[in-house]
Amino acid sequence: MSQSSGDTSEQAGATQAASSGGTSASDKRPIMIEADKLCKYYGRFSAVESVSFQIRKGEVVAFLGPNGAGKSTTMKLLTGYLAPSSGVARLCGFDMNTNRLAAAGKLGYLPENGPLYPDMTPMGILKFFARARGLSHKTKDRIDHVIGQCDLSTVVNKPIGKLSRGYRQRTGMALTLLHEPDVLILDEPTAGLDPNQIREVRETIRKLGETKTILLSTHILQEVEQMASRILLVDEGRIKYDGSTAEFAKNNQSLDECFQEMTTARN
Ligand SMILES: Nc1ncnc2c1ncn2[C@@H]1O[C@H](COP(=O)(O)OP(=O)(O)O)[C@@H](O)[C@H]1O
Ligand SMILES: [Mg+2]
């Protein structure tokens, strides 16, 4: 386990990576997601402060932290949706500042609020995204596949604005998976869902984790043990823990107690 002391030196970063779950120097799997001293400032407010980590092929990593910790902002930096104030995000080795389009084909990003086209139907938006992504001859097969995978068949022709939160989320997941990306960045995929829907989404993610590299944010601690072998904990824009899920809850403490200890109480 490594609990950062606020030291942002190269050495501290290296120590962190070496001791973290599944990312030791001897690990030869390719690095699929990399944050390299990422910073994001809004005026003088620092939303993300020198965040560094590497995620290797096949890892499923939970991105934990209280509300406002900087999870969504970090994910937007990693996906190229936001430009960093400084630092570099790399996806499959591509620098997101300079080579975003090359990385886009490999990336599936589920943003925090899902798809925002209320007048379109799931079928309409899937066709639109398939065209935009240049899937051409594969379009029908891929759309049929993700409709089945995300269990959308009963609602494909209803306007997204009239769908329940669960079906809107599934539509977002179908768009995320449409082009068969190797890397998934999922921002609170279970937020706002009922317990049955949460179980289904967890199962989908668990299956996806068998073949893909996944970074998923959540503040639901019970999800973590079931889905992720590694935890990145962020608080006030800084990484506070990077290590295995097993080591996170030490000394018979619960995940909840460890989370509380490592993060700042806020209203
Ligand atoms: N566009 C913005 N302008 C100013 N502050 C922002 C903006 N977006 C996010 N923030 C702030 O940055 C911090 C991190 O936000 P966010 O990354 O959304 O947190 P999380 O996803 O962990 O809940 C919060 O304090 C939030 O209010
Ligand atoms: Mg968020």
Q: What is the pLDDT of residues 184-198, one digit of tens each?
A: 999 999 888 888 888
Predicted model pTM:
0.88
**CB distance 38 to ligand 1 below 6 Å:** no
Segment 186-214 shows an average pLDDT of 90
Instruction: Write down the residue that tokens 């997941």 correspond to.
Output: 173
Return all residues near 75 (Cβ < 8 A) that are at least 6 apart: 63, 81, 109, 185, 187, 215, 217
Query: Which of 38, 41, 45 maximizes ligand 1 atoms within 8 Å of its Cβ, making it the mutation to test the pocket?
Result: 45
pLDDT surpassing 90 at residue 8: no
Q: How confident is the model at residue 23 (pLDDT cuts 50, 70, 90)?
A: low
Q: How far apart are CA 255 and CA 245, in angstroms?
A: 9
Q: How confident is the model at residue 251 (pLDDT cuts 50, 70, 90)?
A: low
**CB distance 252 to ligand 1 below 6 Å:** no
According to CATH, the superfamily of the domain at 1-106+214-267 is P-loop containing nucleotide triphosphate hydrolases (3.40.50.300)
Domain boundaries, the chain: 1-106+214-267
pLDDT surpassing 50 at residue 267: no
Pair of tokens at residue 185: 């960045």
Query: Which of 73, 218, 236 maximizes ligand 1 atoms within 8 Å of its Cβ, making it the mutation to test the pocket?
Result: 73
pLDDT surpassing 60 at residue 230: yes
Question: pLDDT > 70: what percent of the chain?
Answer: 87
Protein residue with its CA nearest to atom 25 in ligand 1: 68
